Amino acid sequence: MGTEHFDATAADWDRDEQKVARAHEVAQAVAAAVSLSARTRVLDYGAGTGLVTQALAGRIGPATLADSSSGMRDVILEKIGSGALPAARVWDLDLEAQPPPDERFDLIVTSLVLHHIKALPRVLSRFTELLAPGGYLCIADLDREDGSFHGHDFDGHHGFDRAELSVQLEDAGLVDVSVRDCTEYVRDGVTYSVFLAVARRPA
Ligand SMILES: C[S@@+](CC[C@H](N)C(=O)[O-])C[C@H]1O[C@@H](n2cnc3c(N)ncnc32)[C@H](O)[C@@H]1O
């Protein structure tokens, strides 16, 4: 799935109340798993319209929202302009194709993005590089599903096996990996479970 789909759906993304509610549930799960403060430098990777960062606002420090879709970045910039999102940096970044910028974050949150990432080991290693020592990676994504979520021409991941992803996170140099239930995604009458995986860069 290229950026065209997300470019085309960005303007109406937030009209779907389920997406807004789910972003709040992801933010709650992140806040329950990781200690946050006004000093926490956050990268929201594959931020979409910034819903997860919006839901974390007031509990975190400086935010950077990265997305490879220009349509999504335009919505984020509008929200920053209107005050719906606090002042934040917006990055055009695709870690499958680009090396990570020379920056460090205390928390990387990435919600429903990883199943679109084909070069997963490369991107997980790049997340590790972007984390400050002791920093956390929080991944919200679909549990392994039968392929019905996107339809059978989808060339990404049909969700993730929690144990396999945990090994991949350790292979990327992260420690203290844990995975818990987070929220649900109801599509066409089918309920898909969403986990939150948490891992830490060694101090
Ligand atoms: C399902 S949306 C989730 C948006 C947001 N995180 C949320 O939970 O509301 C997936 C987002 O990931 C972005 N994305 C997909 N592949 C990406 C990549 N390789 N690099 C950066 N962003 C990507 C898409 O443009 C889209 O905005």
CATH number of the structural domain spanning residue 15 = 3.40.50.150
Q: Percentage of the chain with pLDDT > 90?
A: 96
What range defines the domain where residue 123 resides?
A: 3-200
Ligand 1 neighbours, Cβ below 6 Å, are 3, 6, 19, 23, 46-48, 51-52, 67-69, 72, 94, 96, 111-113, 116-117
Per-residue confidence band for 2, with pLDDT thresholds at 50, 70 and 90: confident
Domains identified in the chain, total number: 1
pLDDT, one tens digit per residue, over 152-194 is 788 899 999 999 999 999 999 999 999 999 999 999 999 999 9
pLDDT, one tens digit per residue, over 20-77 is 999 999 999 999 999 999 999 999 999 999 999 999 999 999 999 999 999 999 999 9
In testing the pocket of ligand 1, which one of 90, 108, 113, 184 has its CB within 8 Å of the most ligand atoms?
113
The pLDDT of residue 152: 73
- Residues 53, 47 contacting (CB under 8 angstroms): yes
The arithmetic mean of pLDDT across residues 128-141, rounded, is: 98
Q: What is the largest CA-CA distance in the chain?
A: 44
Both tokens of 95, joined, read 């870690």
Q: Percentage of the chain with pLDDT > 70?
A: 100
Both tokens of 51, joined, read 């819903």
Residue 96 Cα: closest atom of ligand 1: 19
Residue 140 Cα: closest atom of ligand 1: 8
What is the secondary structure of 37-95 as a DSSP string?
-TT--EEEET-TTTHHHHHHTTSSS-EEEE-S-HHHHHHHHHHHHHTSS-S-EEE---T
C-alpha 178 to ligand 1 mean position (Å): 23
Mean pLDDT of the chain: 96
- Helices 162-171 and 120-130: crossing angle in degrees, nearest 10, is 60
Residue 51 Cα: closest atom of ligand 1: 9
Per-residue confidence band for 199, with pLDDT thresholds at 50, 70 and 90: very high
Both tokens of 49, joined, read 């319209």
